[in-house]
């Protein structure tokens, strides 16, 4: 059984949407996977948007790396994708009513939506597992059509009012890990040949076949397989917090609690549901509530020990 991980941290330096703790979040996750969960160092790939990074985490790069991992996966393998950075959602209105799609924000704003992650999970070979951990705003539901096991009790793909927040600085050296859609549009318009306020049109024009499949082709909603596990840093209607750490290093609140819980664990390994419930309890005084989305079988399985 092989274990492979792709860890991505985006701080968006120099554009007014900067975060501070995402590089430290990625470093913490790498330490956890290698020293507590038996991942080989050579099987853990790290992508950040630091200026010195040889391969920045653009939408194309992230998708390519994930699809390559899936293509090479064999029965018994565990693939883990971790993301720390901005999150966003978009409501789409059509014949089926209002459908919400959550997304992560790569460094080039080529958004990767929940439909994309559903497509990735559908491509997993039988007997292998895909685990996604997202420390970003609106991260609940990032694997489309996956069953909620721990959460608020509403479908994340249905449009509903998000909780009111100041999505910039939220005081005390903290910042919400949500990039306003207006900021994404401002970034994309100068790169496009078309004059449009529609994000799908802009993404298709700029990135072509590397844009989200949401804007390129039908996504098979079949979820008969249960190999997708999503642990989100907050509900789909909430923000996640990036903290400047005051006298310590900056970090994401969710990642800090995840790391602390698992690094200090003694005794039997926690199940996925127990882990998420524990972190929710630790963050009970915060305005973010981690969630778990997976099958019933995966909810009771030990975290990252799925066989």
Here the contacts of 62-69 (C-beta below 8 Å, separation 24 or greater) are 62/6, 62/8, 62/106, 62/112, 63/112, 63/116, 63/210, 65/6, 66/6, 66/120, 67/120, 67/123, 69/4, 69/6
Give the pLDDT of residue 292. Answer: 97
Give the pLDDT of residue 248. Answer: 80
Q: Fill in the DSSP letter of residue 39.
A: -
> Which stretches of the chain are DSSP H helices?
22-36, 59-72, 114-122, 181-188, 199-207, 253-263, 272-282, 296-300
Exactly one of 137, 234, 291, 294 is catalytic; which is it?
Answer: 137
Judge whether 86 counts as a catalytic residue.
yes
Give the pLDDT of residue 79. Answer: 96
**Which pTM does this prediction carry?**
0.94
Residue 306 has φ and ψ, to the nearest 5°, of: -95, 5
Residue 44 has φ and ψ, to the nearest 5°, of: -115, 110
* Domains annotated on the chain, with CATH: 3-300 (3.40.50.12660)
Tens-digit pLDDT profile for the chain (307 aa)? 799 999 999 999 988 899 999 999 999 999 999 999 999 999 999 999 999 999 999 999 999 999 999 999 999 999 999 999 999 999 888 766 788 999 999 999 999 999 999 999 999 998 899 999 999 999 999 998 899 999 999 888 888 777 655 445 566 789 999 999 999 999 999 999 999 999 999 999 999 999 999 998 766 655 555 679 999 999 999 999 999 887 688 999 999 999 999 998 877 789 999 999 999 999 988 889 999 999 999 999 999 864 3
Taking alpha carbons only, the member of 179, 207, 211, 213 closest to residue 191 is 207
Rg (CA), the chain: 18
Judge whether 291 counts as a catalytic residue.
no
Exactly one of 86, 138, 234, 291 is catalytic; which is it?
Answer: 86
Tokens of 16: 């007014």
Residue 135 and residue 128: Cα distance in Å, rounded?
A: 23
Give the pLDDT of residue 217. Answer: 72
Tokens of 244: 């400047």
Query: Residue 188 contacts by C-beta under 8 Å, 6 or more apart in sequence?
Result: 109, 199, 202, 203, 206
Give the pLDDT of residue 299. Answer: 95
Q: How many helices (H) and strands (E) does the chain have?
A: 8, 14
């Amino acid at each position: 059984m092989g274990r492979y991980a792709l860890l991505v941290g985006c701080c968006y330096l120099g554009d007014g949407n900067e975060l501070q703790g995402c590089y430290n979040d990625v470093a913490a996750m790498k330490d956890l996977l290698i020293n507590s969960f038996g991942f080989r160092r050579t099987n853990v790939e790290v992508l950040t948007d630091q200026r010195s990074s040889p391969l920045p985490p653009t939408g194309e790069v992230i998708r390519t790396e994930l699809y390559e991992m899936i293509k090479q996966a064999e029965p018994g393998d565990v693939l883990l994708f971790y993301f720390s950075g901005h999150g966003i959602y978009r409501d789409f209105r059509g014949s089926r009513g209002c459908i919400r799609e959550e997304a992560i924000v790569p460094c080039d704003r080529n958004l990767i939506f929940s439909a994309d992650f559903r497509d990735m999970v559908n491509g997993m070979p039988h007997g292998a597992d895909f685990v996604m951990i997202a420390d970003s705003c609106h991260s609940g539901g990032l694997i489309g059509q996956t069953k909620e096991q721990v959460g608020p009790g509403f479908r994340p793909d249905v449009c509903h009012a998000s909780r009111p927040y100041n999505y910039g600085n939220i005081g005390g050296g903290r910042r919400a890990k949500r990039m306003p859609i207006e900021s994404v549009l401002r970034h994309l318009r100068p790169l496009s040949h078309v004059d449009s306020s529609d994000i799908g049109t802009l993404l298709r024009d700029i990135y072509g076949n590397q844009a989200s499949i949401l804007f390129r082709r039908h996504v098979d909603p079949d979820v008969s397989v249960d190999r997708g596990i999503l642990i989100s840093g907050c509900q789909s209607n909430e923000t996640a917090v990036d903290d400047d750490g005051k006298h310590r290093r900056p970090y994401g609140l969710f990642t800090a609690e995840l790391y602390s819980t698992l690094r200090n664990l003694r005794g039997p390994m926690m199940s996925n549901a127990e882990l998420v419930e524990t972190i929710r309890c630790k963050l009970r005084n915060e305005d973010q509530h981690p969630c778990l989305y997976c099958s019933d079988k995966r909810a009771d399985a030990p975290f990252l020990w799925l066989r």
